[in-house]
Amino acid sequence: MKFVHIADLHLDSKFDNLGQISGLPQKRRIEQRNAVKEIIEYVKENEIEVIFIAGDLYEQNYIKKSSIDYINRLFKEIPEVKIFISPGNHDPYISNSFYATYNWAENVHIFKDKIEKIDLGNIHIYGYGFTDFYCKESKIEEIKIEDKKEINILLTHASLDGGYDEMREYNPLSQSKLNKLGFDYIALGHIHKPYYNEEKNQTIFYPGSIISLGFDELGKHGMIVGEITENDLNIKFVQIDKREFEEKELDITQLNSNEDIITKLEELNLEKQNFYKIILTGKRFFQLDINEIKKVITIENIIKIKDNTKTGIDIEELKNENNIKGIFVRNMLEKQKKERLDQEFIEKAIEIGLEVL
């Protein structure tokens, strides 16, 4: 059986992190639609038999009916392909959700919060879906596979080996316990970073998010494509997102002004289709103004600039000088001590004051 495993599209996401760039969130939402279309075209061209959607297909709080209409029309273009959806914490099967109220294509099957088994000949699909925005216990780890000689696949949205409280609210599952169940392929969603080919005889997989949602999702994004038989499992990762979020560091130690930084940014060799966060590092010897830099730069795909620099001013040396700068620094340090001001805050204040002087 040839299959595609996708998850975490978050269709109609607000893309708050791109909101400061006019029109960019809307453009990114169009790219989400285009990603689904590309997946369906891949399915057609490669004779895929089954699509597994492991949750968070859309954003319950923001999804538009027109977007559901769009993807459902695409599903109808492949009536011979079985589509299994396991709702997640962002798109749970609740009373007012499109999962519950919409007339989906006949080849779409949506799982709820009772573990269900669908037979496709010698292939058995076990599925479980969220029916709330949280899921603390699904009983998936108690599944008894009826016939381990045949092909058994599990589809769900889950946090694997969640080590902190937040992750335990989203169907927390143990990797070791899942491995003992005997599934030939476990299709998970929820983690936005791809997880495949990480270990020998791996059976648990995350495809990651189809479209990167921001700078906490660096690298390539797409889907897992696989072929499974009674004796073998072959998978590969196929990139769908045409853009990548990247971080680049710029050491400003040798620079003397905001204008110098702008010049250096303009000289960077950046891929036009990607989005960038520039992290400024090194020591600064002038008043750094991130807002001024953002207003002036002409590179549209620099989305964020972060200041990780340290002051290059030797405050200990300056406070011992017998001049107006020394008096200013000593007064500021005394103020810090009396009012217990943050060290980074007082250093910035001293830096600005010295530049004025």
**pTM, entire model:** 0.86
If asked whether residues 161 and 299 sit together in one domain, one would say no
Residue type, 289: D
Instruction: Mark which of 223, 239, 255 sits at the end of a domain.
Output: 239
- Using alpha carbons, list the distances in angstroms from residue 168 to 101, 113, 161, 179, 229: 29, 17, 9, 19, 34
- Using alpha carbons, list the distances in angstroms from residue 153 to 159, 198, 203, 221, 326: 18, 19, 9, 23, 72
Count of structural domains, the chain: 2
If asked whether residues 82 and 206 sit together in one domain, one would say yes
Q: Are strands 275-281 and 245-251 parallel, antiparallel or unpaired?
A: parallel
> For the ranges 62-71, 156-165, 269-278, 279-288, which has the lowest average pLDDT?
156-165
Tokens 């530049």 sit on residue: 355
If asked whether residues 131 and 264 sit together in one domain, one would say no
- 89-105 pLDDT, tens digit each: 999 999 999 999 999 99
**What is residue 319's predicted lDDT score, i.e. its pLDDT?**
82
What gap in Å lies between CA 32 and CA 11, rounded to an integer?
A: 6
The DSSP bridge partners found for residue 239 are 222
Give 168 or 146, the one with higher predicted confidence: 146
- 208-236 pLDDT, tens digit each: 999 999 999 999 999 999 999 998 999 99
If asked whether residues 72 and 34 sit together in one domain, one would say yes
Strands (E), the chain: 2-6, 50-53, 82-85, 108-110, 116-120, 123-127, 151-157, 159-160, 172-173, 185-189, 204-205, 222-228, 233-239, 245-251, 275-281, 283-284, 302-307, 310-311
**What is residue 167's predicted lDDT score, i.e. its pLDDT?**
64
Residue type, 168: R
Domain span at residue 287 reads: 245-356
Q: Is 121 helix (H, G, I), strand (E, B) or coil?
A: coil
Show the tokens assigned to 50.
């089954």
Tokens 């992190």 sit on residue: 17
If asked whether residues 190 and 50 sit together in one domain, one would say yes
Q: What is the CATH number of the domain that holds 59?
A: 3.60.21.10
